[in-house]
Amino acid sequence: MSKKVLVLGGSFGGLTAALEVKRRLGAKVEVTVISKDDNFVFLPSLPWLVTGQRQAAALTIPISAILTARHIHFVHGTAMAIDPTAQRVTTASSGHDYDYLVIATGPHLACEEIPGLGPDQGHTHCIFTLGHARKSREAWQKLLASPGPLVLGSTQKASCFGPYYELAFELDHQLRKRRMRHKVPITYLTSEPYLGHMGIDGLGTSRRFMEDEFARRDIKAVVNQGVQAVEPDKIQLTDQNSLPFQLALLAPPFKGVDGVAALGNDRGFITVDEYYRHRQHANIYAVGVAVAMAPRQPTPVPTGVPKTGYMTVQMAQSAAFNIAADINNSEPLATEDISILCLLDMGGTGTLMHADPLLPPRQKSVLRKGRWVPWAKAGLERYLLWKMRHGLSRLP
């Protein structure tokens, strides 16, 4: 009888895991994906949606179209609870039994932890979902029409820094193109202890690199700082100072999502072993942002380790390999270290960043600036969207 593999989440982690399990096991498994969103959204290009270089339709693929062609079931719904003993996940309208479960539900954006934060009930914007990026685009257009101070960066406990560096450089570039940079003071506000830390203790010369780039572009940095509250026109910092803004784009604190948090640590992230298996429940796997990952050294203002798309795909492939090994009674494969590869658009130029492994000490750290980077990023976007559209799960 075929085994039931249930996957929660329809993004890089969930779709890669589902496609790869099916590719490896074919008719031996019945794979179902449950996802709160019914579209796959190519999140790395959302900064380009804010600047108007991309439209939403170009970054979006219906999940059912990806999965149906590969004989994988799709349920558009939100996992509300997991019962690891009964091996069952419940959504608002149905229950789903599993033999193996993969959790790839990404982050809960915990705006509620900071009064006044967030695009839904607060005064700040962010770019973690298509909806949020669209609102950010509208707010950016308003700023262009009526210029004033721009603040961007990350709050305490955020674990995603790259996109906000990217936005700082891109928006600076857009303002200069319009000859209005002098009307918009830019401040990069962050919980990182220094510029270029990025939640991974820096990467090669990233500290000096970012400090020089910020100085060259006249972007003010406020580092090692938490946010206490946000008022309609100013951010109250934990050191009692405040920052005025007309537009603020801030990454909120991250937590695990509600439906899976009960299986996780105190922030709701899932602690896994070297096979990406839950430490207490061997038939539950977790990949991507849902995974608990401790920084090498805690930072004075708490920051989280980022889990990038590239890392997420590596984790999902490992989890799929190990599910297949378990079903085939073969040896699982431990993942000791994971690496990152990022292309950061800086408006007219960019930087390639590669860290292997993710956290120091490292075998390899590469940071290379060049005008070719935005082109390479656009090429990678096209390739990865093509791959997802065709249900291909392997990394090159």
Rule CB under 6 A: which residues touch ligand FAD? 8-14, 34-37, 43-44, 46-47, 78-79, 104-107, 127-128, 160, 162-163, 257, 259, 288-290, 307-310, 312, 342
Which residue, 105 or 236, has its beta carbon nearer to ligand FAD?
105
Closest CA to 285 of 14, 1, 83, 71: 14
Q: Which two tokens stand for residue 234?
A: 């100013």
Which residue, 117 or 289, has its beta carbon nearer to ligand FAD?
289
Closest approach of Cβ 78 to ligand FAD, in Å?
4
Contact 194, 224 (CB under 8 A): yes
Whether 160 is a known active-site residue: answer: yes
Which residue, 28 or 73, has its beta carbon nearer to ligand FAD?
73
Q: Which two tokens stand for residue 396?
A: 């090159």
Q: What are phi and psi of 221, to 5 degrees?
A: -115, 135
Closest approach of Cβ 183 to ligand FAD, in Å?
26
Closest approach of Cβ 240 to ligand FAD, in Å?
31
Which residue, 200 or 234, has its beta carbon nearer to ligand FAD?
200
Exposure b/e, 308-342, CB count within 10 A at least 16 = b: bbbbbbbbbbbbbbbbbebbeeeebeebeebbbbb
Provide the terminal-to-terminal Cα distance of the chain, rounded to the nearest Å. Answer: 33
Which residue, 38 or 274, has its beta carbon nearer to ligand FAD?
38
Strand partners, 61: 40
Q: Which of 66, 160, 171, 344 is catalytic?
A: 160
Closest approach of Cβ 257 to ligand FAD, in Å?
4
Q: Which of 89, 342, 344, 358 is catalytic?
A: 342
Q: Which two tokens stand for residue 113?
A: 């932890």
H/E stretch holding 141 reads: helix 130-145
Closest approach of Cβ 267 to ligand FAD, in Å?
15
Longest CA–CA span in the chain (Å) reads 68
Return left, alpha or beta for 202; rule: phi > 0 is left, psi -120 to 50 is alpha, else beta.
left
What are the residue numbers of the active site?
Answer: 160, 342
